[in-house]
């Protein structure tokens, strides 16, 4: 066992018993704040979200490069200005980049990224598998900033 120096130092007046935690491999029994994905407001103070699901929501709400603290996290979905045939592959790659830190640590597995075209707009539906909870989740992103269809 490694030697641990308590914060108050080593004196006879210090009573310090180190605590060893056993890692069981099961998901932790804590939840994150239930924040509405669309508006960003707090939904409840009595219930919460799974931390992995909350990390997915945060990654999909964050715009990459929008500040000094978010240079390498988030997405650039707003870079698509028109509905084109390449839109689905662009969105699929942006979602993969936004969720890369969760997929590489095996917290989630992306099942599908589907773009639903709504005339001059689009919606991205992301289906992922929460590995710790062993559940499938679906997130929809409405993209209102698209300016129309590309000329055929």
Query: What is the domain-level CATH number for residue 134?
Result: 3.10.450.40
Instruction: Look up the pTM and report it.
Output: 0.69
Q: Quick check: is 44 in a domain?
A: no
Q: What's the CA gap between 144 and 3, in Å, rounded?
A: 57
Dihedral of alpha carbons 104, 37, 125, 116, sign: negative
Instruction: Dump pLDDT digits (tens) for 51-100.
Output: 888 888 888 887 787 777 776 777 777 777 776 777 788 888 888 888 88
Angle at 75 between CA 71 and CA 78, to 5 degrees: 115
Domain count, the chain: 1
Do 64 and 98 touch, CB atoms closer than 8 A?
A: yes
Range of the domain at 125: 51-143
Looking at the chain, the whole-number percentage of residues with pLDDT higher than 70 is 70
Non-local (6+) Cβ contacts of 128 within 8 A are 56, 99, 108, 109, 110, 111, 136, 137, 139
């Amino acid at each position: 066992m490694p030697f641990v120096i308590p914060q108050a130092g080593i004196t006879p007046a210090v009573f310090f018993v180190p605590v060893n935690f056993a890692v069981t491999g099961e998901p932790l029994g804590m939840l994150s704040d239930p924040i509405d994905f669309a508006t960003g407001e707090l939904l409840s103070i009595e219930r919460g979200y799974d931390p992995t699901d909350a990390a997915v929501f945060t990654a999909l709400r964050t715009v990459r490069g929008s500040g000094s603290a978010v240079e390498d996290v988030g997405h650039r979905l707003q870079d698509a200005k028109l509905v084109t045939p390449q839109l689905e592959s662009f969105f699929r790659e942006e979602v993969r980049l936004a969720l890369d830190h969760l997929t590489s640590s095996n917290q989630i597995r992306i099942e599908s990224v589907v773009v639903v075209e709504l005339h001059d707009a689009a919606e991205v539906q992301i289906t992922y598998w929460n590995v710790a909870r062993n559940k499938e989740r679906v997130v929809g992103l409405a993209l209102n900033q698209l300016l129309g269809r590309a000329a055929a």
